[in-house]
Structure 1
C-alpha cells in the first residue's frame, strides 16, 4: 500500500509539473510580440451581420492585405523601378495615412520624384507615379487643413494623369488616377470649378468600369461618393455598402494597404451615417488595425464609443 501510495504521489507530482510547464509556455507565447502580431493584431474576425433593412448582402470578411507589391489594385510597379524606390513609396504612403507632418511628407515626395525621374521607365509610367505621389502629398496637406498647398499638389496630380491619357489614351488606370485628385479639387476649389468638374469624377469612374467592370479603384471611388455626403448631395449609404461588399467579393487576392483601409473606413462611415453604431464601430476598429494612428478613423470611433 505504501509503495502504491508513493507511486501515485510521484505520478501526481509529474502531472502537476507538466501542467506547470505548459502554462509557462503558453504565457511566454501569448506575451511574445511575434504572437501578438500574428495572432491578435492581424486576426480577422467576422464582421457583424448586415441588417436586413440595409440589404440582403453580407460582408463575409473584412478583406485581406495583398501579398503583392502593387501601386494600385492589380497594377504592379513599372518594370525598372527598384526595391529601394518601391519601399520609399510605401513609406511615403504609410506616413500620409498615419498623419505624419505634411512638411516631412512633401520632403519625402520631392526626393522620391527626383530619383524616379531618372529611372529607365516609360513617360506614361513616370506620369502614373508622379500622379500617385502628388495625390498623396495633396491628401496630407488637406488632412492638415492647408487648402492652398493641397490644391497645388492635387493640380499636379491631375496634370500628370492627363499626361498619361495623352500618351496611352483613356485606360481604366489613367481614368481612376485622374478622377481621384479631381474629386478633391472639386471640394476644395470654388463653386464654378465644382459645377464644371464635379460630374466628371463619376463619369471617369463609370468609364473605367465600362472598360474594366471589376476595376476595384473605380468601384471604391463610386462607393465613396455615396458613403460620405448627405443624401441631398447624392449620398446613398445602403447602395454604398452594397458596392463595398461587391469589392470584397472581387478582391479575393487581397488589396494594397491604403486601399483596404479606405474600403474599411468607407464601410464604417456608411454604417455611421445610417446610425448603425455597432457595425460602424467594428469597421472603424478594423481600419485601425491597418493604420492605428489614423486621426479620422480614431476620432470617428471615439464618437461611437
Structure 2
C-alpha cells in the first residue's frame, strides 16, 4: 500500500510527497574509519521513510531496529538522545499521512487559505503521529539539556512544529510560540545553521500573508542557502518543496508543480 507522507517541513506546514519505509536491522556502521553520529545511524531510516511505504507492522519493526542500532552504537549520551529524537520524529512523519488524492487536494486548499486547524481532519493516524512526536520531544529536550546549541534548538523546534496542528486548538496556541522560539534561538546561536534557515524560509513560504508569509523573502532565503552549498538530501528536498509552496501560495500552480517535480526527483 502506498502512503502519502510529508517531507520534513518546519513549524508544521507539511510538503506532500509519496514516501516509503524500507529498513534492515543488519548493523551498518562497522566500516573502518567511519565516524558514527546520530545522522549516520538515522539516515537509512529517514531516506526509506521518504522513498516509499510499508505496512504499519514493517514500519514499527524498522523503527525498533533503528533504536536497537542506537543502543548498540558507541554514541555519547547526548548524541544517543539526538538519535532517539530523530528516530521517533521520522516515525511521526510516517504516520502523518493524507491517504487519498482527493483529500490531498482539499488539504492543499485549506493550507493555502490558512485553515490550519482544519488540517487535522486529513490525518487518519493523527494520534499515532502525536505519540511518536511526543517520544521525539522527550528525547529532543534531553538532547538540548545535555548539549545546548543551534542543532538541538532547531530539532526541538521542528518536532514542536510538526505537532502544532495535530492537537487541539489550545495546544496549537501553546506549542506554536514554543516552536518559533526554538528556531529563533538556533539562529541567534548559529546564524548560518542551514536547517534553522530552512525552517525560517519555510515558515515564510508555507504561510499566507495574513499569517506572516512572504513568498519573495522565502525564495531569497532559499537561494542564499543554495549559494552557500547544500550537501544533505533532505535539506535539498525541503528547499525545492519550499520553492513549490511559495509559488502555490501565489496561485502559480504551474511553477509550483515544476518545483514539486524537482523535489520528487530526490525522493521519488
* TM-score over 0.5 for the pair: yes
1:219 to partner: Cα distance: 0.7
Give yes or no for contact 1:102–1:140 (8 Å, CA) kept in 2. no
Whether the 8 Å CA contact 1:95–1:105 is kept in 2: the answer is no
Alignment correspondent of 2:219: 241
Q: Deviations over 1:112-171 (max 9, x none)?
A: 1022112222110001111111111101100253100000111111111100111122x0
Partner of 2:43: 90
- The answer to whether the 8 A contact 2:85-2:136 is kept is yes
* 1:48-67 correspondence runs (5 A): none
Are 1:270 and 2:224 matched, yes or no? no
Q: 1:116 aligns with which of 62, 70, 74?
A: 70
Distance 1:279 1:125 in 2: 40
Separation of aligned partners in 2, 1:106 and 1:269: 31
**Cα distance in 1 for residues equivalent to 2:242 and 2:37:** 31
TM-score (norm 1): 0.64
**CA distance change for structure 1 residues 130 and 102 in 2, over 3 Å: closer, same or farther?**
farther
| Partner residue of 1:260 out of 226, 236, 245 | 236
Residues 261-290 of structure 1, C-alpha deviations (whole Å, 9 max, x = no match): 111011111112112344323211211211
Runs of at least 5 residues in structure 1 that lack an aligned partner in the other structure: 1-77, 293-305
Count residues with an aligned counterpart. Answer: 209
CA contact (8 A) 1:175 1:205 kept: yes
Q: Distance in 2 between matches of 1:234 and 1:111?
A: 40
The residue number in structure 2 matching 1:140 is 94
Q: Give the greater-gyration-radius structure (CA).
A: 1
Unpaired runs of at least 5, structure 2: 1-33, 99-122
**C-alpha displacement of 1:109:** 1.2
**Structure 2 SS opposite 1:117:** helix
Q: Name 2:132's counterpart in structure 1.
A: 153
Write the distance in 1 (CA, Å) between the matches of 2:83 and 2:242: 25
Change (3 A) 1:155 1:102: farther
